Amino acid sequence: NAGVTQTPKFQVLKTGQSMTLQCAQDMNHEYMSWYRQDPGMGLRLIHYSVGAGITDQGEVPNGYNVSRSTTEDFPLRLLSAAPSQTSVYFCASSYGTYNEQFFGPGTRLTVL
Amino acid sequence: AQKVTQAQTEISVVEKEDVTLDCVYETRDTTYYLFWYKQPPSGELVFLIRRNSFDEQNEISGRYSWNFQKSTSSFNFTITASQVVDSAVYFCALSEWGAQKLVFGQGTRLTINP
């Protein structure tokens, strides 16, 4: 099993550009989520999904879109990148929020 | 609303010392789950433990132990005889029943000096 994979590992964007962070898991988990990690802020939930076709907002959803067309994939889209979105992004999957979350290796994003 | 507070931003100790990382949580729910995760310098997030609100037994795993006290809404983590490899950022997290969200504390950066 590959577990949770994320691409790319590093990305530099200019303000206003858009991009998609990819996340995939091969554990047949229904629950998937995106977090951003900023110094001193811990991990903050951006969006989550409890199954294919179902998504909802987390704590800091502004500027991000998600979709879940399959159980395996949960991409995160930045519509118009801003310097405030410079962060490390983690994707996670699990059987539910009451279970161990399996995290991807993270994507380090810099917006200039 | 669920909230987790890790008041200790950074802790630095000398190897072989015992160290306790504090975690205080807030919830209005009677059913909830608490977690600890470790983030070593390499950056990945590693699951350490899960505890549900109905199980207040302390947990010990090798040099690691966890003290869950509902009366003080705390779920503290102790490392006994610390080692340099324990250096990492440690996160406490809370999930309320039905909330479908996992809320993390700010994290505690632990440095073990040789």
- Residues of B within 8 A of A101 (CB-CB) are 35, 37, 45, 47, 102
* pLDDT for residue B109 is more than 80: yes
Q: Give the pLDDT of residue B75.
A: 97
**B45 interface with A at CB cutoff 8 Å:** yes
Among left, alpha and beta (phi > 0; psi -120 to 50; other), residue A39 is beta
Name residues 62-91 of chain B within 8 A of A (Cβ): 91
Distance from CA of A46 to the nearest CA of B (A): 10
Q: What is the pLDDT of residues B25-81, one digit of tens each?
A: 999 999 999 999 999 999 999 999 999 999 888 889 999 999 999 999 999 999 999
Best to test chain A binding among B10, B102, B106 (most A CBs inside 10 Å): B102
Are A99 and B50 inside 8 Å of each other by CB?
Answer: yes
| Ramachandran sector of residue B28 (left: φ over 0; alpha: ψ -120 to 50; beta: rest) | alpha
Window 36-75 of A, Cβ < 8 Å to B = 40-45, 48, 50, 56, 58-59
**Could you read off the pLDDT of A94-110 as tens digits, one per residue?**
998 888 999 999 999 99
Mean pLDDT for the stretch of residues B100-104:
89
CB–CB of A88 and B99 under 8 A? Answer: no
pLDDT at A87 over 80: yes
Residue type, position B61, single letter:
S
What integer pLDDT is reported at residue A57 of this predicted model? Answer: 95
**Ordered DSSP codes for chain A:** ---EEEE-SEEEE-TT--EEEEEEESS--SEEEEEEEETTTEEEEEEEEEETTEEEE-SS-TTEEE--SSSSB--EEESS--GGG-EEEEEEEES-TTSPPEE---EEEEE-
> Nearest CA to CA, how far is B105 from chain A (Å)?
6
Is the pLDDT at B21 greater than 90? The verdict is yes
pLDDT band at A56 (very low <50, low <70, confident <90, very high): very high
Average pLDDT rounded to a whole number, residues A59-67: 96
- Our CA-based measurement puts residue A36 at a distance from the nearest CA of chain B, in whole angstroms, of 11
- pLDDT, mean over chain A: 95
Q: Evaluate whether B106 touches B10 at the Cβ level (below 8 Å).
A: no
pLDDT at B101 over 90: no
Which residues in A lie closer than 8 A to residue B91 (C-beta atoms)? Answer: 42-43
Q: Which of A50, A58, A98 sits opposite B95 (nearest CB)?
A: A98
